[in-house]
Structure 1
Amino acid sequence: MKHHIITVMILAVAVACYLAGYSGVGNTAFIVGAGFETWFWIRLLIKRPSA
């Protein structure tokens, strides 16, 4: 759940940057948020074998 909160916060920063005209920073924030979301789904879908 913590990862989704971080992703939503980064998305909000990206949207705010786009609205303010800072497209470079907005693109960076969007890419970082997408990275967090991808990392979350990979961890969720790939199960590690128990020791």
Structure 2
Amino acid sequence: MTLSLTFIAPDIIEAVANGTLPRGFGLSRLTDLPLSWAKQRQKLGLPARS
């Protein structure tokens, strides 16, 4: 299985790489995200970025 990280917000990718996503987050939660970075954060329950 391959997950393309091309359209995922850079701060989400950074959190994945650093292992700082909230507990319970896995790669399966990163599939089928909307293209909008703000909507990605909202869908994952992450704080909005300014």
Question: Max radius of gyration: which structure?
Answer: 1
Higher helix share: 1
TM-score, normalised by the number of residues in structure 2: 0.28
TM-score (norm 1): 0.28
